[in-house]
Structure 1
Amino acid sequence: MSAVAILHPLVRRLTAPNASAYTFTGTQTYLVGRGEVAVIDPGPADGPHVAAILAAAAGERIVAIVCTHTHRDHSPAAALLKAATGAAIVGCAALVPAAGADGGVDAAYDLEYAPDRVLADGDEVAGEGWTLRALATPGHTSNHLCYALPEADALFSGDHVMGWSTSIVSPPDGDMGAYMASLERLVGRDELVYWPGHGEPVDRPQRLVRGMLGHRKQREGQILRRLGDTPATIAELVATMYAGLDEKLRGAAARSVLAHLVDLERRGMVIGGETWARTV
């Protein structure tokens, strides 16, 4: 059973037992509040993990089950937790992805997710001593939300900003242009710490976000330079851009390259199909 880490007087964390090349040590589940508790990202439909959440909140009342997005490693346990507690599922909207939207990545969509209340940008869910304010951050998925906790000057950043790796952006639901705009939105905010869906807490988060923006722009520049020489397939671009990458992660890299290409095509800078070429 996952150990409970106390991150702040209002925040406890458990890690789901779903470590993988795409989830790092596992999905981070957060309990917010004391007495009246919100659970953020209850994780996969894993009975022992749900039991660990209930044990961590023993003697308290879970009043809200909050999801950042509906990948299979974040939201399926919401239904199990609701059945055990009667708490409402609130947060991101349900999502029906287009065919192939998961791109072969193992964190596919939770198509059974059924929220009782969908939060729009700026909407809040609150309990005794705490407030969670939704921040729309599409890109990783079209329905992704982060949640500000003003009482702690903190942001639950889901998979938009993680503590161990950059996020996968996989078309057609994942959108690189939207992802970049969502990162830009975070740069102007003043939270002191991010608590992500995977990895450790992020201190000095604005610095990390600026670095993530720079990294994505660097990848975009690599693509344009490579296509400036000769047209290329996505596989050829991945081989050039990700030399030495673990074979397990090549599929994810290909999805991110595709996301960049789709964004560049939308902006009139490349044209493609099986082979991609620069237009300017």
Structure 2
Amino acid sequence: MQSDAEPERPYALAETIAPKVRRVLARNPSPFTYTGTQTYLVGDGAEVAVIDPGPAQEEHITAILDALGEARLTAILCTHTHRDHSPAAAPLSARTGAPIIGCAPLTLEDDGPRADAAFDADYRPSRVLADGESISGEGWTLTAVATPGHTSNHLCFALEETGALFTGDHVMGWSTSVVSPPDGDMSDYLASLARLYERTQDTIYFPAHGPAITKPHQLVRGMLGHRRSRERQILRQIEAGNTTIPAMVPAMYKGVDERLWPAAGRSVLAHLIDLERRDLVLRCGDAWRLPEGIA
């Protein structure tokens, strides 16, 4: 919740935040979305692309249309299909004729801890971008960078002319990404982080939630270290006798808003599955143990 001391958030207002980039903030703040979903408009000429059109809120869709002005919307891109990212794509396409491009469709039954993260069953792209494939308009080129992990269909988009990378939920400055099985995969997530760390051409990240990241490689290095630290924490918890996820989470996430503990438990599960693949833990029903010789 926004406190009285915080400035009013610029909902339904297009702000220029970088060359060729404007941002419109959706009014869907939550413990999982921070101040809300940030929709990006790319291009300052006659052709514009929209990245992560966000929730299907009339106020938000109208703000995006108003921001276009006389420009033509030529592409609606989605990083992934959680409901805080892609539902506005269909009505925006219907009103403008712009094609929906980007990630592959993905619909799963979601028994996870956050209702807003369920998949958008109505997402229907007219074109799916493969890793390394680009689309372009007047003065801009956007290239897909496959980054599975948060979801299996997650893409980032690189703005080739400026060195900006739109990172969706893969990398955020305000919080780590939730990795929730069965679709969320920690092995893939770590590999995707490592891939971004190797991309020296990216000089700034624009995530779907939270502030721009001006030292991206430093942050990604820290995120990789954080995930390895979580692994060691989990192994210590099992060694100490906390062998179930409900026992691990309170000990591992002290000081974290308890509303986030269910989501944290999903990421702990993703870590455990990754550790199991590497033969570092064994599953025993709802409990986990260390193999002989690991302790």
- Normalising by the smaller structure, the TM-score range is over 0.9
CA distance in 1, matches of 2:48, 2:219: 29
Q: Is 1:196 equivalent to 2:207 in the alignment? A: yes
Amino acid at match of 1:184: A
Q: Percent identity?
A: 60
- 1:4 touches 1:14 (CA, 8 Å); kept in 2? yes
Matched, 1:210 2:242: no
Deviations 1:135-156, CA, capped at 9 Å, x for gaps: 0000000000000011111100
Q: Distance in 2 between matches of 1:86 and 1:3?
A: 22
2:178 equivalent in structure 1: 168
Cross-structure match for 2:89: 78
Match of 1:261 among 255, 262, 272: 272
Q: Deviations over 1:157-213 (max 9, x none)?
A: 110001211100000000001000000001111211000010011001000000000
Question: What is the one-letter code of the residue matched to 1:5?
Answer: E
**Aligned position for 1:276:** 288
Partner residue, 1:37: 48
- Indicate yes or no: 2:113 matched with 1:104: yes
- Once the two structures are superposed, the pairs formed by residues 117-136 of structure 1 within 5 Å of their partners are 117-136=127-146
RMSD across aligned C-alpha pairs, in angstroms? 1.1
Provide the rounded CA distance (Å) in 2 between the counterparts of 1:193 and 1:38. 19
Q: What is the aligned partner in structure 2 of residue 252 from structure 1?
A: 263
| Letter of the structure 1 residue corresponding to residue 24 of structure 2 | L
2:112 maps to amino acid: G
Shift of 1:111: 1.1
Query: Any conservation in 2 of the 1:82–1:89 contact (CA below 8 Å)?
Result: yes
- TM-score, normalising length: structure 1: 0.97
Could you tell me how far apart the structure 2 residues matched to 1:202 and 1:231 are? Answer: 36
Distance in 2, Cα, partners of 1:103 & 1:269: 25
What is the one-letter code of the residue matched to 1:150?
Answer: E
Residue 13 of structure 1: SS of its match in structure 2? Answer: strand
Give the match for residue 115 of structure 1: 125
Match of 1:222 among 197, 220, 233: 233
1:10-159 paired onto structure 2 within 5 Å:
10-34=20-44, 35-97=46-108, 99-100=109-110, 103-106=112-115, 107-159=117-169
SS at match of 1:73: coil
Matches within 5 A, 1:173-184: 173-184=183-194
* TM-score for the superposition, normalised by structure 2: 0.92
Q: What's the counterpart of residue 4 of structure 2?
A: none
1:245: how far off? Answer: 2.1
Runs of 4+ in structure 1 deviating by more than 3 angstroms, as ranges, are none
Aligned residue pair count? 278
Contact 1:135 1:145 in 2 (8 A): yes
Residue type at the aligned position of 1:136: A
Q: Which runs of 5+ in 1 are unaligned?
A: none
- Bigger CA drift: 228-237 or 244-253? 228-237
3-state SS in 2 of match to 1:202: coil
For residues 125 and 222 of structure 1, the distance between their equivalents in structure 2, rounded to whole angstroms, comes to 43
CA contact (8 A) 1:231 1:277 kept: no
- After alignment, is 222-231 or 147-156 more displaced? 222-231
Please tell me the residue identity of whatever aligns with 2:155. L
Return the alpha-carbon distance in structure 1 between the equivalents of residues 19 and 240 of structure 2: 56
Please report how far the alpha carbon of residue 71 of structure 1 lies from its aligned counterpart in structure 2 after TM superposition: 0.3
SS of the counterpart of 1:151?
Answer: coil
Counterpart Cα distance in 1 of 2:281 and 2:112: 21
Deviation at 1:262, TM superposition (A): 0.8
Alpha-carbon distance in 2 for matches of 1:178, 1:197: 20
Cα distance in 1, alignment partners of residues 12 and 59 from structure 2 = 9
How far has the Cα of 1:231 moved from its partner? 5.3
What is the letter of the counterpart of residue 116 of structure 1? S
* Rounded Cα–Cα distance in structure 1 between residues aligned with 2:250 and 2:17: 40
In the alignment, the residues of structure 2 paired with residue 231 and residue 20 of structure 1 have an alpha-carbon distance, to the nearest angstrom, of 30
Deviation at 1:232, TM superposition (A): 1.1
